[in-house]
Chains A and B, each alone.
Chain A
């Protein structure tokens, strides 16, 4: 299910609309992931505060969204574009790749809630495919 030119255009267009709010989207998505999928908290036992809008959550939400921004800029070759991040996730963070789908879903929910008119079904399918591709590229170096 690779990204067509139409998908890439849709993703770039969507990113154009939402990138100014990237930090807020990241913080909201991460915060709600920890609430909706409590098993994800196991990766953050070293944080003092796991509540939505806490400093570590906001900060990390920002990091996640810069990864997304990178992926948008490397959308023509996600595998090589995200190679370094994949190595980090595979060898250091060792996050189970099943969680990529969970966080992707939360990001899409936040985008839908913040940009209901722009997140049409056509935009949704391209963004969903994009996050699938991103997740696959992130899991590339795992084994």
Chain B
């Protein structure tokens, strides 16, 4: 089981409680689709992803970005149980969506950059370490049911 320090728990709760999911989610997903364009392979039904402007204005991308953040919130609310919390989503991403789990890290890196841009100086090394540790556990849990 993952051991969380008090600082790590408090930092994660703090970051997510202050976050506007409808801004951060779309920003992180669209950044991922722009910076790592091969990730677009999973979103063929989303319509126009032809260039950065199209991606950032795409309502399907925005909607899905928000859904992803709500998915992360489940981990935030159950930090001691994340393997179990994400078991079903892991099966979904593997069996139904066929997403290469390496992509989870790419999205996670983009989310880190978006949060850094939002928090500025407050995104210290210690805060970054806590955030990246949380995201690493999410990524690991999501990859766990692949076979």
Closest to A110 in B: B116
Residue A84 CB within 8 A of the other chain? no
Residue B121 CB within 8 A of the other chain? yes
Contacts A109-B112, A113-B123, A121-B52; is A32 near B128 (CB within 8 Å)?
A: yes
Name the A residues within 8 Å of B30 (CB-CB): 121
Closest to B119 in A: A113
Name the B residues within 8 Å of A113 (CB-CB): 116-117, 119-121, 123
On whether the beta carbons of B31 and A121 are closer than 8 Å, the reply is yes
CB-CB contacts below 8 Å: B115-147 with A: 116-121, 123-126, 128-129, 132
On whether the beta carbons of A119 and B34 are closer than 8 Å, the reply is no
Residue A35 CB within 8 A of the other chain? yes
Among candidates B34, B117, B124, residue contacting A112 with C-beta atoms closer than 8 Å: B117
Closest to B109 in A: A105
How far does the alpha carbon of A124 sit from the alpha carbon of B116 in the complex, in Å? Answer: 13
On whether the beta carbons of A124 and B113 are closer than 8 Å, the reply is yes
Name the A residues within 8 Å of B125 (CB-CB): 31-32, 34-36, 52
Contacts A124-B31, A124-B34; is A114 near B120 (CB within 8 Å)?
A: yes
Contacts A36-B125, A109-B113; is A121 near B120 (CB within 8 Å)?
A: no
How far does the alpha carbon of A35 sit from the alpha carbon of B132 in the complex, in Å? Answer: 11
Contacts A35-B125, A36-B129, A113-B123; is A125 near B116 (CB within 8 Å)?
A: no
| Prevailing SS type, chain A contact patch | helix
Residue B35 CB within 8 A of the other chain? yes
Residue A87 CB within 8 A of the other chain? no
Contacts A113-B116, A113-B117; is A122 near B124 (CB within 8 Å)?
A: no
On whether the beta carbons of B121 and A128 are closer than 8 Å, the reply is no
Residue B56 CB within 8 A of the other chain? yes
How far does the alpha carbon of A122 sit from the alpha carbon of B120 in the complex, in Å? Answer: 20
Name the B residues within 8 Å of A124 (CB-CB): 31, 34-35, 113
21 contacts between A and B (CB under 8 A): A31-B125, A32-B124, A32-B128, A34-B125, A35-B125, A52-B125, A108-B113, A109-B123, A109-B128, A112-B116, A112-B117, A113-B117, A113-B119, A113-B120, A114-B120, A116-B117, A121-B35, A121-B55, A121-B56, A125-B34, A125-B35
Chain B residues engaging chain A, CB cutoff 8 angstroms: 30-31, 34-35, 52, 55-56, 109, 112-114, 116-121, 123-126, 128-129, 132
Q: Which 3 A-B pairs have the closest CB atoms?
A: A32-B125, A35-B125, A116-B117
